[in-house]
Chain A
Amino acid sequence: MRSDPTAPEPRAPLPPMPPAKLRTEKLSAWYGKKRVLEEISLNFAPNEVTAIIGPSGCGKSTLIRCMNRIHEVTPHARIEGRVFLDDQDVYRQEATSVRRRIGMVFQRANPFPTMSVFDNVAAGLKLNGVRDKARLDEQVVKSLRQAALWEEVKEGLYAPGVSLSGGQQQRLCIARALAVEPEVLLMDEPCSALDPIATAKIEDLLFDLKKQYTVVIVTHNMQQAARVADRTAFLYLGKLVEFNATRELFERPKEKLTESYITGRFG
């Protein structure tokens, strides 16, 4: 692996895999007749960041979209296999309550267009019936702090959410997802549309977020995975090729395919 000067110092070796917060079991997914995931079984440990890497079109996004049941919203989309959250099958629960427990941040920042910063963050709480102003204020401030956005927007809480910069909008979306107090946070290439400075801010944020949440991040940027993730899964053409502690995967890949990908022979 080409060493990246900006990468933090190598961390202490990871403890063995703790009991999974979230896991998939032989998960397959289709768009129409096209199969995009093949029997993926993966465990996601609590209080860790797990990265999913792979060339574009390998099914990374589909995988996390299956986990919070957003995949099924797409017409003609279908899955087989199971996803467990705390050992309970999410496909046997209400989709809405699953999605509340598994928050998601998307590739493109997508704040609600007519809403202020405050209302964007409060949207999920209001859906869940929080009407108490004091409680709303408290939770919004807390979420904005967690998303490292509070200092930048505290003067303009009632400005439209879409008036923020791209990086701020993405952190606003993180705050919006955190406000409903999910247990898992799924991030679908959250930095792909951002500049390096905004990217660095979000990467820093991940170190704080994992203290409280189970984080899964999809990225096509290997340096990012190496920097932020405790464990990394490498997907290729809908199949799980390798899953290991991030350092192991990058320094001593077991599979030939992994090695050629991380050394940049294809991408």
Chain B
Amino acid sequence: MVPRPSDTSAGSETPRDPGVIVSPRGRFSRLRDRRFWVRVADRLFTGATGAAALVILGIATLLVLLLVQSSYPSLTRFGFGFLYGTVWNPNQTVLSPLIFGALPAIYGTMVIAAIGMLFGVPLSLGIAIFLTELSPGWLRGGLSFVIELLAAIPSVVYGVWGLIVVVPLMATTVEPGLHATLGQLPGLSGVFAAPASGYNGFSYLTAGIILAIMVIPTISSVSREAFLVVPNDQREAALSLGATSWETTRLSVLPYARRGVLGAITLGLGRAIGETIAIVLVVGNSYAISGSLFSSGTTIAAFIATEFGEANGIERAALLELGLVLLAVSLLINVGARLLVRRGIGPVGGAE
């Protein structure tokens, strides 16, 4: 289109010419003025985008309000006892009162996330370090592409694979093996104790291992980004002292990227505690607390998934309260992670 001088004043950049629009022929003539319609379109467009931004805020508000509102019966009835109660009994009888305690689910979530992080974090950092610092150039592109594909596998597939491949392996080999070796060490016998029902492979440990694999793409890709923004002169500072490539990573890259890496780990943790279906398929779904990593258990997310369909009334409210707990924890983790990642990328503080 051919730019005419009059058009330049139409954008929202220069909102200063109302006088020009009101022509001597009267107020309705503005409807025939092209600049008027351009301005209306501009306003509509900006308004529509702003409304879309408000939708995000609306969903966030809805999330909190709805969860609080719908778990209200349980919140008021069980109070803080909900968080440390160990019994989940939706069927009132003469001998067992109606009660909901979240501790087994919270405990399972923590144990499984901890195992996932224990294995997932070193693996992911090793991957990120290899791909940014140590890999020969020709290998880098292909390998990072493959690692990114891990993120494309849906969690139900990890669950199916865990159920069919990993669970039997754990039951026949890994768990008895760990019990016979590490389990004999003083202080570790409880952690690696054989479960009363025998090794069936459905355990905290199995769930943790599956989770470790699932958090790898998150943690490794975010830490890679943090490594990639480390300025080269940081690496060269170490190299010029005669450091080897590993020493350069340890002296310059890791310290410089530390916030980003911490953020990456936190994001991975956020993903870990929210993981549902893969856990459901390998954890055994028993509502109990056990010190042995070979025992079955459950997590908040897995428990909601398995119980919600059957639940009604107060039990549903209690499950929604579990959801509220999960939301609170994941919000805390994610807000922390975002702050860390945002600060971690960019120069480190100090007098510049």
Q: Please list the residues of chain A having a beta carbon within 8 angstroms of any beta carbon in chain B.
A: 68, 70, 73-75, 96-97, 99-100, 102-104, 106-108, 110-115, 123-124, 127-128, 160, 162-166, 169, 173, 176-177, 180
13 pairs, A vs B, C-beta closer than 8 Å: A70-B240, A99-B241, A99-B243, A108-B231, A108-B233, A113-B350, A123-B241, A123-B251, A160-B350, A162-B348, A162-B350, A177-B240, A180-B242
Instruction: Output the least CB separation between B322 and chain A (Å).
Output: 40
**Cβ of A96 and Cβ of B237 under 8 Å apart?**
no
**Cβ of B240 and Cβ of A96 under 8 Å apart?**
no
A127 in contact with B255 given A163-B350, A166-B351 (CB within 8 Å):
no
A99 in contact with B240 given A110-B234, A112-B251 (CB within 8 Å):
yes
**Cβ of A127 and Cβ of B349 under 8 Å apart?**
no
Does any Cβ of A come within 8 Å of B137's Cβ?
yes
Chain B contacts with A in 158-202, Cβ cutoff 8 A: none
Indicate which residue in A106, A114, A163 contacts B237 across the interface (CB closer than 8 Å).
A106
Please measure, in the bound complex, the distance between the C-alpha atom of A164 and the C-alpha atom of B238, giving whole angstroms. Answer: 19
Please measure, in the bound complex, the distance between the C-alpha atom of A163 and the C-alpha atom of B258, giving whole angstroms. Answer: 18
**Cβ of A113 and Cβ of B348 under 8 Å apart?**
yes
A128 in contact with B242 given A107-B233, A114-B258, A123-B251 (CB within 8 Å):
yes
- Contacts across chains A and B counted by CB atoms under 8 Å: 84
Please measure, in the bound complex, the distance between the C-alpha atom of A115 and the C-alpha atom of B254, giving whole angstroms. Answer: 12
Tell me how many residues of B have a C-beta within 8 Å of chain A: 26
Instruction: Output the least CB separation between B213 and chain A (Å).
Output: 31
Chain B contacts for A70, CB-based, 8 A: 236, 239-240
**Cβ of A96 and Cβ of B244 under 8 Å apart?**
yes
Please measure, in the bound complex, the distance between the C-alpha atom of A103 and the C-alpha atom of B240, giving whole angstroms. Answer: 6
**Cβ of A177 and Cβ of B348 under 8 Å apart?**
no
Indicate which residue in B233, B244, B247, B258 contacts A110 across the interface (CB closer than 8 Å).
B233
**Cβ of B252 and Cβ of A127 under 8 Å apart?**
no
Does any Cβ of A come within 8 Å of B310's Cβ?
no
Please measure, in the bound complex, the distance between the C-alpha atom of A228 and the C-alpha atom of B196, giving whole angstroms. Answer: 81
Does any Cβ of A come within 8 Å of B235's Cβ?
yes
**Cβ of B239 and Cβ of A75 under 8 Å apart?**
no
Residue of B nearest to A169 (CB): B351
Please measure, in the bound complex, the distance between the C-alpha atom of A165 and the C-alpha atom of B352, giving whole angstroms. Answer: 7
Chain A contacts for B236, CB-based, 8 A: 70, 73, 104, 106, 110
Does any Cβ of A come within 8 Å of B256's Cβ?
yes
Instruction: Output the least CB separation between A136 and chain B (Å).
Output: 14
A100 in contact with B241 given A73-B236, A106-B233 (CB within 8 Å):
yes
**Cβ of A124 and Cβ of B242 under 8 Å apart?**
yes
Indicate which residue in B241, B256, B348, B350 contacts A127 across the interface (CB closer than 8 Å).
B241
A112 in contact with B242 given A160-B350, A164-B351 (CB within 8 Å):
no
Residue of A nearest to B252 (CB): A112
**Cβ of B241 and Cβ of A163 under 8 Å apart?**
no
